[in-house]
Structures are given as C-alpha cells and as structure tokens.
Amino acid sequence: MEIYNPEAMRWNTSTAFLHQPLLDMTPPEVKSGGVYALYYSGDLEKYESIRGMGVPIYVGHSKNDISRRVWMGCKHVDDADNLNRQDFKLRVLLLPSEFTSMIKDVLIERFHQPFWNRPEYKGFGGDCSPRVGWQATNWDKHHSGRQRALEYNRTGEDQTLFEAKMADRFLQEEERLSLLGSSG
C-alpha cells in the first residue's frame, strides 16, 4: 500500500478547490497560504465565450497571505477603466505554504491554462509597484487605467495582434468546453 501518492493528492486537492463556494471578489479575512481563482460574469464582449461556463479567467496563489494577493487583484480590477469588481466571483482554498504553488499549477493545467495565466498574456497577477524598465503588459493594454501603466513605458505587443490571439484563444476554449459538455 502506498502511503503517499502525490498524483492522488494533487487531484483530490484540486477537486476540493472546486467544491469551495463562489464568493464576491473581496479579500478573505485570513492570513494564510492558499490558491484562488477569479471568474468573470460581466458583459464585456471579449469574454462572452467563457461567461457562465465555470471557467476561471485567472488562477493565483500565495504562500503566506492569500488576503494580500486577492487585495492586489481587487486593486487591478478597480483601477481598470472597463472592469467592475461586481462582475467577478472568487473561489479560495486555504493551504499550507508548501502546497500552494503545486496546486496552482494543477488548477492551471486542469482549466487548460486560464486566459490571464498564459505566458503571452501575463500581466494581471503580481505586485502593483512600478519598477525601472517595466513595460505595460497585455493586460494593461486591454484594461487600461492601472497607475503603473499610465506612468511607465507602454511598449509591448501590437494591439491588433493581441486581439487576434485573444479571439483565437477564446475560440479554442469554446471548442474545448463543447467537447467536455458532449462527453458527459
């Protein structure tokens, strides 16, 4: 008998995450490690294909202060000119710090890499503080208003190319979700 089965632990923990309730996008009042996901339900046309599908737009983690991490996400959304925090729901699972990164990776894999977790679209997560040499991210191009993007270098990927990649990504996601729905 195998006492420790890492694959079973990964699967069981990610399943436990999916059984957590969806909450308003407000930082939890706890200082602990954990993983979280944001779900978008607003009316921006660019997100129409994932709205109501149970697919997060972002998965994040913190090793020791999930409340601070979620607070930073709230700040990013609040600063954006075309987003409203009321259009987002939050799912959180508190975990010991040594498991947060692994479970975040499992969730990203399980959700087939949520849109704002993809390497070519980085920009939502992370510290709000501007740094020397910082470039505006694709997230900032699509959701302008974050102070650091207004104050610093705005170089990066061409907006037309970015929007074409986004449309392609959502088409792939719609196809994947329709296959999942027909297999059940």
Q: What is the pLDDT of residues 129-161, one digit of tens each?
A: 555 455 667 777 778 777 655 555 444 445 566
Q: What is the arithmetic mean of pLDDT over 151-175? A: 60
- The contacts of residue 183 (CB under 8 Å, 6+ apart) are none
pTM assigned to the model: 0.77
Reduced to 3 states, what is the DSSP secondary structure of residue 175?
Answer: helix
Give the closest residue to 24 by CA, choosing from 73, 81, 68.
73
What pLDDT is attached to residue 86? 95
CA gap 34, 131 in Å, rounded: 27
For 7, the enclosing helix (H) or strand (E) is helix 6-18
For residue 1, pLDDT over 60 is answered with no
Give the closest residue to 124 by CA, choosing from 51, 73, 69.
73
Q: What is the arithmetic mean of pLDDT over 40-64? A: 88
Q: Find out if CATH 2.40.10.330 is the number for domain 6-183.
A: no
Q: What is the arithmetic mean of pLDDT over 85-111? A: 92
What pLDDT is attached to residue 23? 94
